[in-house]
Amino acid sequence: MEIFLSVLGIAAFFVVSYFVIKAAVRNGITEAEVLKREPFDISKPFADGAISQKTCAHCGEAYDVDYPRCPHCKR
């Protein structure tokens, strides 16, 4: 009976350790993904009155983000 309780205790230790390590790794990955992105400053994007722009993947021209398609190549 003592051996069974010892084995059960060791198994419980490893199960709990597994979930603790899994949660730590998951949280570490989540925090790393957040840190990769630029921090958003609400006063910066439209402070000068300009609309943000993005670059067309097809033609390489810059256009306003509120356009659904590139006005230069229509893609």
How many domains, the chain?
Answer: 2
Residue 69's pLDDT is what? 85
What residues make up the domain containing 16?
A: 1-37
DSSP letter (8 states) at residue 52: P
- Residue 35: its pLDDT value, please? 62
- Paired residues of 54 in beta bridges: 63
**Does the predicted TM-score (pTM) go above 0.85?**
no
48 & 32 share domain? no
The answer to whether residues 3 and 31 belong to one domain is yes
The answer on 31 and 63 residing in a single domain is no
Shared domain check, 74 and 49: yes
Q: Does one domain contain both 33 and 56?
A: no
Residues of the chain with pLDDT under 50: none
Computed over every residue of the chain, the mean pLDDT equals 78
